[in-house]
Structure 1
């Protein structure tokens, strides 16, 4: 029995799964703190069920992170089982990435053949942003897995004509909402269209089942947010990044409309520079101008971040990939985590890597590319900012829509008759087109969000290849010419686009790609059956080789970044984590020794200024203004009462100390006016150097004497 199963096993697919496991999992033992914002929350969630349920950022349960906690629950469970390490909090994303590859194969193989399933799985595996996302503790890889699972279950529901499977599929989207909110709803048009055209039941039953599915979606979407918002605000944490302490507001505001229109909540205006880079006048990515907007100070990006203009490779330091502490008991603070953050062996730069001007190029990662999203418009996803992460196979996916539609049409049928294969083309097209449209015009997102396009691109590429092969084998001369035209244009357009992405780093390889594209196009047109198998193998290798190399860069560099992306810049030298995992040992020691009965080790301006201290010490650190440093978590009078009662003795003016207004700004002004500056450092010259997060000056204030 076992030998028979082994014999029938698809070993090509097994190899693809192994490749995905290596790409996503190799080197995660050097994950350090990964995204320290979420790692700090996981550390705090291990302290109590209360913190676990709400996804509290700090162990005192003062404030939550800016997302629902479903993905964090999985990460916290992993940390509970294996201990709190960088690799243990990243592990759920690794498994989700591998699971997505498996689901892609399972969805394509039954309708389009085993080679389509293999190709779809391979394309998904070699999509750079999929690799980068699957190696960090951000939520996107887990979200994509839930959404693919929802579509897989819907396909089974259509096949089996089962109402319970219909309800389950929409329920999974609701769970996805509680992973990353409205981002999960991006696939609803695809699911609704596919359900309506694919399921073969009487129309009354079809409507009834759809209503049941939407009811299931509503229940699983709103159950958690409504439950949280219904709790008295004094008995739960403040909802991070919301303006009115509401999870529903967070979903439809900060994580909803502001992603499309541009972020403005709590910042005094949208982030400048987002979506406005162009060839004529490039705004510096990741850097914001100082000054006023709408009468309020604009939020400033830390001064040590280097600018990156469109069309050039980023420069600076790579994010930290220090080793996670080993054998750390669950529930205890990792004593040696500080030593493991910001340490990564310096690696040699790949030979021949150059910038767009032909000069040798260094590497910088971390926050530098956080807002490098190109110029809004229909071709934004082809531009180097986003395309280098998601666009490697995009021309093939677009052509796949055409090939799939015409290649699988029913012969001698009426024009409106849709074949079963065409329904799947519509499914993946309805996933691709709305998501493509969103990223083409959206005002605020990070490049790694484009992982939402990866499943549709992989599926349509595979379907297009299968359909083109079907047409190429056709005896009709016109059909064969059409197929050869699609193949030739697909190879040339795809390799030309990849050459554009590669040029800034490897100009000679870029030229080679163009030459290979021309040769292959001619070969497909004139070669007919001359070395047909060799031609096919060379074409697949040519299309995949540089995308595979780009995808391997996070793996080779053991990168698990807060802002995940793939690029040869990761293969340069190591650097510090730009997302707040650094810890000032002297400040930590000083406050720990003098904390006494205070509830909080200290209060600070924002989450990134607090995360490293929470991870290392396990103590409660109050992130007064949440992630942006501007959440209206309390009034000045409420903060004074905390100080007066002895719950807060110290305040650290962290990363966002100069950009807050409103109630938080009043608190910061009061602290600066009434607090006593503390020289906690033995080295007076470095007393005010902030190693908490981004390199700005910081100051420790003693508030305990104000009411004495």
Structure 2
């Protein structure tokens, strides 16, 4: 015999509420109190998110100096601002579209350069994302269960460790996640009422997300289009017409900027950083497209896989698991079990009106599930560059599925013994996985996994024994689900608070304890507990990621004269540091890693002849090391005079002034400075 369903809500309660707030009547004190109480949970979650994303934000300094330098350059030149150039001289762009830089650049232009002006826009975007997700879930699930699901989803998102880390940094991802979550909100609105305007808004927001991080924004499109085509009201022909209109809006909002860039005469705009042929289309398809999925392209170099080897277990490995995977198993269970519950468990469903009242819940499960599965597959198997912080875009989907799934499973537990066993099984599974992740760093909070395990055992025992299915004290029916929430979020919350006490790595922000040395990576690249001081990227001094000395910077400033750039460097890391330290343009000849063919001997000769460039620091990039392209260095050696390091307060290196050839496979030392021209 199945467990007896819980008694329905008493009609008198609804009647009382109706008479208190009926038409033409002012809300009574009880109604006002209820309204205030209903606003407290989302307000508390937003306050929590604000604290997590902004506490001690100033200790992060310039965070990702690559994007910070471009933001500062955009305040000095509207041309650099529009193209997203690294330097105010507009020699080369960053390797992403500029929408996120526009947001940060406007903040720096208004408030000046500081940690807060650089990072607060991303923190604000993170808080707005939490609010949007709460709104989306609340409007998808009717009644009081919708409020509970929305509160849970917002709390899960706010406490996701990688969400906290990335929202305290100035990578483009917080803006990307905000735009895509807004697009999901708009798509769900279009599903509810069948209007085309929300669908067009959804398409425009995805297009703006494309101008933030290119093809990664399109991973949500199969879920959005598929759910709309299947679940939206109206005839099939009407739905197809609406999707066609949305496709046109997506094309325009995605392509307008890159079309302008590619139509602009190449000689009058910056080189497209990250591209091989100075083309935005090449950047979209290559470095930021198939190159990310398939791996390094011929003739280019990528750093090691920061997220571990590709495969089905990547989301659960030592590098990524603590950032995103805590509730991933439960979210996948909710994705499968949710539609079954709505179809087969009457007591867990919602009031039916011809079956249409359940459609928003089904649509929401399908949309967030499609979002999650698409990213899970791509991120797990991509062979190109993959950072753990990329998974931040999965957090809204995991949070939404967790909130909706928790409510559905809780309501289904009273239907039968089979459904009654699923909630405790999910709690046990989630706790077991949290225990596994926490024990991978046994020195971090050693008491926490055992506490979670003990609490989970008590909860699952209470649920398994059908304590809550029987008539019992009200506090017990509140205590157990509350304890289940604490158990499920205890692990991620412990990881999430760690970035508040230490600066995150600007190039690879993560939360939680450092997992230990990773082959091929310098110490301190992963984790918030230790951060290298090499330009915010965890580089090695003297290498292509090393810092430029204060003495050399002072020397370049004193001798810049009328040149546009203080100096030309092999790659973007020293150039970004110089830009931020001096507020003056510095040129990155090879782009981010030194692998871009942006500078040629002819171009360098012209810049020197025109007096726009006087000092060159050759080497220090992967282009010369991997391609054997020594033409620029050879021209500099033959044409320019080496600067005695004594002039900027350093010792002469062994063998000075002769420049030793860089052996194949090794980076140039990036320490020789040459004076070119007059």
Q: Report TM bin, short chain.
A: 0.7 to 0.9
Cα distance between partner residues in 2 of 1:598 and 1:534:
69
Cα distance between partner residues in 1 of 2:399 and 2:450:
26
Cα distance between partner residues in 2 of 1:663 and 1:624:
16
Name the SS of the counterpart of 1:651 in structure 2. Answer: strand
Shift of 1:132: 0.6
Cα distance between partner residues in 1 of 2:444 and 2:345:
48
Equivalences for residues 116-515 of structure 1 within 5 A: 116-264=149-297, 266-267=299-300, 271=303, 273-274=304-305, 371=306, 373-409=307-343, 419-443=359-383, 444-474=385-415, 476-481=416-421, 483-484=422-423, 486-503=425-442, 505-515=444-454
Relative to structure 1, the CA distance from residue 81 to residue 581 in structure 2 (aligned partners, 3 Å threshold; closer, same or farther) is farther
Please give the per-residue CA displacement for 1:59-106, whole angstroms capped at 9, x wherever unaligned: 111111111111110111111121111211111111110011001111
Shift of 1:625: 0.5
Which has more radius of gyration?
2
Cα distance between partner residues in 2 of 1:603 and 1:156:
51
Check if 1:537 corresponds to 2:482. Answer: yes
Shift of 1:590: 1.0
In structure 1, the partner of 2:51 is 22
In structure 1, the partner of 2:593 is 628
Relative to structure 1, the CA distance from residue 221 to residue 663 in structure 2 (aligned partners, 3 Å threshold; closer, same or farther) is farther
Check if 1:56 corresponds to 2:85. Answer: yes
In structure 1, the partner of 2:674 is 702
Shift of 1:684: 4.0
Question: Residues 149 and 406 of structure 2 are in contact (CA less than 8 Å); yes or no, is this contact kept in structure 1?
Answer: yes
Question: Residues 551 and 649 of structure 2 are in contact (CA less than 8 Å); yes or no, is this contact kept in structure 1?
Answer: no
In structure 2, the partner of 1:617 is 582
Which has the larger displacement, 558-567 or 33-42?
558-567
Cα distance between partner residues in 2 of 1:81 and 1:581:
31
Please give the per-residue CA displacement for 1:561-610, whole angstroms capped at 9, x wherever unaligned: 23211023467566514436944211111112112222221111011120
Cα distance between partner residues in 1 of 2:87 and 2:223:
39
Check if 1:568 corresponds to 2:513. Answer: yes
- Alignment partner of 1:85 out of 114, 118, 121: 114
Name the SS of the counterpart of 2:562 in structure 1. Answer: coil
Check if 1:69 corresponds to 2:98. Answer: yes
Please give the per-residue CA displacement for 1:12-57, whole angstroms capped at 9, x wherever unaligned: 1111100000001111222311111011111111112211111111
In structure 1, the partner of 2:495 is 550
In structure 1, the partner of 2:549 is 584
Relative to structure 1, the CA distance from residue 601 to residue 467 in structure 2 (aligned partners, 3 Å threshold; closer, same or farther) is same
Cα distance between partner residues in 2 of 1:416 and 1:500:
46
Relative to structure 1, the CA distance from residue 500 to residue 633 in structure 2 (aligned partners, 3 Å threshold; closer, same or farther) is same
Question: Residues 495 and 517 of structure 1 are in contact (CA less than 8 Å); yes or no, is this contact kept in structure 2?
Answer: no
Please give the per-residue CA displacement for 1:478-530, whole angstroms capped at 9, x wherever unaligned: 4334x345444444444344434453634443344444434433332125237
Question: Residues 488 and 525 of structure 1 are in contact (CA less than 8 Å); yes or no, is this contact kept in structure 2?
Answer: no
Q: Any unmatched runs of 5+ in structure 2?
A: 1-25, 347-351, 515-526, 538-544, 657-665
In structure 2, the partner of 1:332 is none
Shift of 1:622: 1.2
Please give the per-residue CA displacement for 1:176-226, whole angstroms capped at 9, x wherever unaligned: 000000010010011011111221012211111110000100111111101
Question: Residues 619 and 667 of structure 2 are in contact (CA less than 8 Å); yes or no, is this contact kept in structure 1?
Answer: no
- Alignment partner of 2:562 out of 579, 597, 600: 597
In structure 1, the partner of 2:22 is none
Cα distance between partner residues in 1 of 2:430 and 2:606:
67
Name the SS of the counterpart of 1:396 in structure 2. Answer: helix
Shift of 1:239: 0.6
Relative to structure 1, the CA distance from residue 573 to residue 165 in structure 2 (aligned partners, 3 Å threshold; closer, same or farther) is closer
Q: Any unmatched runs of 5+ in structure 1?
A: 275-370
Which has the larger displacement, 550-559 or 215-224?
550-559
Cα distance between partner residues in 1 of 2:528 and 2:165:
14
Please give the per-residue CA displacement for 1:643-683, whole angstroms capped at 9, x wherever unaligned: 23332211113632784465963102322344332223465
Name the SS of the counterpart of 2:319 in structure 1. Answer: helix
Relative to structure 1, the CA distance from residue 683 to residue 634 in structure 2 (aligned partners, 3 Å threshold; closer, same or farther) is closer
Name the SS of the counterpart of 2:568 in structure 1. Answer: strand
Which has the larger displacement, 6-15 or 19-28?
6-15
Which has the larger displacement, 562-571 or 171-180?
562-571
Shift of 1:265: 5.9
Question: Residues 609 and 655 of structure 1 are in contact (CA less than 8 Å); yes or no, is this contact kept in structure 2?
Answer: no
Relative to structure 1, the CA distance from residue 64 to residue 556 in structure 2 (aligned partners, 3 Å threshold; closer, same or farther) is same
TM-score scaled by length of structure 2 = 0.83
Greater RCO, CA 8 A, separation 6+: 1
Question: Residues 565 and 587 of structure 2 are in contact (CA less than 8 Å); yes or no, is this contact kept in structure 1?
Answer: yes
Check if 1:640 corresponds to 2:605. Answer: yes
Q: Which is helix-richer, 1 or 2?
A: 2
